[in-house]
A = this chain, B = another copy of it.
Amino acid sequence: MTTLTTLPPTLYLSAPDMVRLIQRKGLAACLRGVADRIAQDFKRWPEFDKSPRVACHSPDGVIELMPIADAQEFAFKYVNGHPKNTANGLPTVMAFGVLADVATGAPRVLSELTLVTAIRTAATSALAAKTLARPGSRVMALIGNGAQSEFQALAFKELVGIKELRLFDTDGEATAKLVANLVGSGLSLTVCSSVAEAVRGADIVTTVTADKTNATILTPDMLEHGMHINGVGGDCPGKTELHPGVLRAAQVFVEFEPQTRIEGDLQQMPADFAVTELWRVLVGEHPGRLKPEAVTVFDSVGFALEDYSALCFMRDAALELGIGSTVDLIVQTPDPKNLFSALQQEAASPIIATRPQASSAISG
């Protein structure tokens, strides 16, 4: 029998827990904190064991598993994308995830990640724009006014200094909802009647539409000198938002190149089309924007490392605020080689003396 070490409990952050956590921390503080954590982790990029996510596609959507690990922690996110869900009152995106110890494999945190995904996506977008957009960018076009739009709007206000939003969505109710939610945010809002109208004069253009099609939201004729494009919605095979000409006219930055080539707007381009991974700009290996009048594109698909960073931020915040409970996901027995004993009502029968070095017959 080995010495008994107890498994650490698994911290559980439910959806209500996460709402409480974000309300108590404040959404702005969460956006800033997650962006800082993502920046720190992107700067130690080579330390992570990275793989493109595993995706299961069906006619109406996709279900993905997004794993990542460094030498200490393993994290994964479960996330779906079902644009037609909203027609039935269900979310397009639902997510949860886990943090585990690499040394033992023990799961340490189980958390809702639907809200966290919206926060980490917006935080990553804002971090990229802070790094790549022209300094002094104040006006952003926000194309697609669905579930993620408020988070994008507030992250760009908090982290990039955006003051004015120009809004467009094919669903006017979505835009009205976004406007209602941003009343009192201090952002000045202009509701536009077309993408072209929204984009005109914008320093930054964020596209965050949900259709699982090769849409062409942004065309080359809409580009203006020095624009930064934050392409968020083109994030799985067959789902794009940017005309190839937009990519050809721009300096293109990505999260994790092998994944973006499969999932991003980049999927429309030849395999040798040049892109730069954002972390290289953050560590100073690449200058980022080469000239003020250049057009920069952040072709964002969402990378597991961002979820890891956000999970770590939320875990730390939960421990600091005393939010969350624990779950008994793993059965443990005094002798780990005696899993069977977990099923025995009484303690296991006394061990019969046997001499493994010699053969002996026992009738069971």
Which residues does A use to contact B, with CB under 8 Å?
1-7, 12, 14-16, 18-19, 22-23, 27, 49, 51, 54, 56, 58, 60-63, 65, 67, 69, 71, 74, 76, 78, 80-82, 85-92, 94, 96, 98, 100, 102-107, 112, 114-115, 118, 145-148, 150-151, 165, 168-169, 171-177, 179-193, 197, 327-345, 348-364
Report if A357-B193 is in contact (Cβ < 8 Å); known contacts: A3-B89, A181-B340.
Answer: yes
Report if A351-B179 is in contact (Cβ < 8 Å); known contacts: A96-B329, A193-B358.
Answer: yes
In the complex, chain B residues whose CB is within 8 Å of the CB of A14 = 327-329
Q: How far, in Å, is A232 (CB) from chain B's closest CB?
A: 14
A206 to B339, CA, bound (A): 18
The 7 closest A-B pairs by CB, nearest first: A80-B105, A172-B356, A15-B331, A150-B340, A5-B89, A147-B339, A14-B328
Report if A58-B180 is in contact (Cβ < 8 Å); known contacts: A190-B359, A329-B96.
Answer: no
Q: How far, in Å, is A195 (CB) from chain B's closest CB?
A: 12
A105 touches B81 (CB 8 A): yes
Report if A82-B94 is in contact (Cβ < 8 Å); known contacts: A5-B89, A329-B14.
Answer: no
Q: Which of B105, B338, B363 contacts A61 (CB 8 A)?
A: B105
Which residue of chain B is the closest to A327 with respect to CB atoms? Answer: B14
A351 to B332, CA, bound (A): 53
Q: A105, A344, A352, A358: which has the most chain B beta carbons within 10 Å?
A: A105
In the complex, chain B residues whose CB is within 8 Å of the CB of A354 = 172, 175-176, 179, 191
